[in-house]
Amino acid sequence: MADVILNLGQRYAAAFGLLSLNGKPNKVRINNDYKLEFFEEPNEDIANISFKFDNTRVNFASVPFVNKKGLDKIIAPPPVINFSRSKHLIETPINGSDDVVVELWGMKSWDIRISGILIDIDNHHYPSSQIKELYKLFRYNGVVNVIGDQFLEKEIDSVYFKSIQINPVVGFADTIKFSLTARSINPVGFTLLNP
């Protein structure tokens, strides 16, 4: 069987309108003093994530990650994840002044947007099985555990999903663009006996 090489950069560019990189890290930089600085290879595992629910695990990972960590199946390459968060504040204006008094401070949940592509690498047909797996993840009505460095550094270990978009990618019949919106959630930290 011959090796199949997919140009993911072209697919991401078609899906999201992004200019793609050649995938090779910049290892050498020459600064104004004409000194050479060498950098280590980047951590390829940083974008890999997994969602766990009801004894099911949905993996988004690069191929080297699968070989190193032994994951049996990935649904898609690592997606692009956007995080945003704001504070919950109650601000009271002071009469006759431009100043305000902040009476209550608190953090809102993280709003998360996960965008990526699904590709049928095996048959180069419409990726129906990957779409079914993604939709099963979205359809789950409960808290989903998440594993990945991007979530860990923001102290997020579980999310719930709010919406999904699935769109075709023009020019690639075997590729579908998807977007999930989610929100972080923490377990309730009190009970009726211990408020």
CA-closest candidate to residue 166, choices 158, 157, 175: 175
CATH class name, domain 45-184: mainly beta
Strands (E), 9-157: 28-30, 36-38, 49-53, 56-60, 80-84, 90-93, 100-104, 111-119, 144-147
For position 134, what pLDDT does the model report?
A: 95
Q: What residues contact 26, with CB distance under 8 A and at least 6 apart?
A: 39
Would the pLDDT of 89 be above 80? yes
CA-closest candidate to residue 178, choices 79, 82, 84: 79
What's this model's pTM, rounded to 2 decimal places?
0.72
Structure confidence by residue, pLDDT tens digits, 125-165: 999 999 999 999 999 999 999 999 999 999 999 999 999 99
